[in-house]
Amino acid sequence: MTVPTRMLGGLASSAVGLGCLPLTGGYGQVAAEEAVAAIRTALDLGVRLVDTADFYGGGEVERIVGTAIRGRRAEATVATRGGAVTRGSARPTEYDGRPEFLRQACAASLRRLGTDYIDLYLLARPDPAVPIEDSVGGLGELVDAGMVRHIGLSEVSEDALRRAATVRPLAVVESEYSLWFRDVERRILPTLRELGVGLLAHSPLGRGFLTGGLTLGPTDYRRRQPRFSPENLAAEASPLAELTELADAHGVRPAQLALAWLLTRDEAVVPIPGTRDRGHLAENAVAARLDLPASTVARLTALWHTAQSEQDGNQGGHHPS
């Protein structure tokens, strides 16, 4: 199977990537062997971009990625994030954007990944105590040292993005973007186009909402987010039903249609849905090759014509589907 290639700044990427958050076990237990098999299945399908972070599973997911790409390094485009401080927590408690901290974090990621370079290294979040210019300068030093090939930012404001772009060429910004959540269309996406920077779209399936099969267990973290309140989900039932009807008309699943729509928004957008299910991996790869008629794109765009507001933060940099 061939997945089309897209350019993110100067970085070549598969049009759909793989988000590795589900491999942490946060959505149910997953054996290391199962996680490795999922990543290798993605590579088999032509999904080259593998997105992780040094705080996923306390570094364990980077080790899993390293095991999965062993002997297949040339097939994988590895993206990871540094600059998060967890202090034993399951999620980042603060961020450190000092160049010396980023160099140490990157070196640790290289060891866990078992590779001598990282294709794409991103600042997990801007550190309010460190000028973004200094952090990006530190990332640039990693490029100069041969430790990373390309650099990017995650969850950044337009102002910080513009300032960062004056220091070093950026390949991507990673931010939430989906048919259901479209905040980046207001300011970030137009700025990325202007600067020639790509977008890694995390949570491209609305954290499971756009699959049409969302179920929330009693301890599911999404229950704490206003957009997943029973009242809000009830209000969203009608457009979700129309999405399902459109998907049925095209002979695909709602998730595939949602990914295909996202790929029409800009040639430098790459969604990174997270899954460990091999069937879903195959469906996501197929979505990268769907050619939607303009009428379908227009109907999908109109389903949620106003962006959801970010009322509940971004879960400390966690990027679910």
By annotation, the residues acting in catalysis are 56
Task: Provide the 8-state DSSP code for 16.
Answer: S
Residues in Cβ contact with 289 at an 8 Å cutoff, skipping those fewer than 6 apart:
2, 3, 4
- DSSP string across 88-122: T-SS-SEE---HHHHHHHHHHHHHHHT-S-EEEEE
Task: Provide the 8-state DSSP code for 274.
Answer: B
- In the three-class reduction of DSSP (H, G, I as helix; E, B as strand; rest coil), residue 276 is classed as coil
| Cross-strand pairs, 64 | none
Q: Using CA atoms, how far apart are residues 294 and 316, in angstroms rounded to an integer?
A: 36
Task: Provide the 8-state DSSP code for 176.
Answer: E
Q: Using CA atoms, how far apart are residues 173 and 261, in angstroms rounded to an integer?
A: 19
Selection from 150, 179, 317 nearest residue 257 by Cα: 179
Q: Are 178 and 197 within 8 A, CB to CB? A: no
Q: Tokens representing 143?
A: 């490029």
Sign of CA dihedral 107, 113, 117, 118: negative
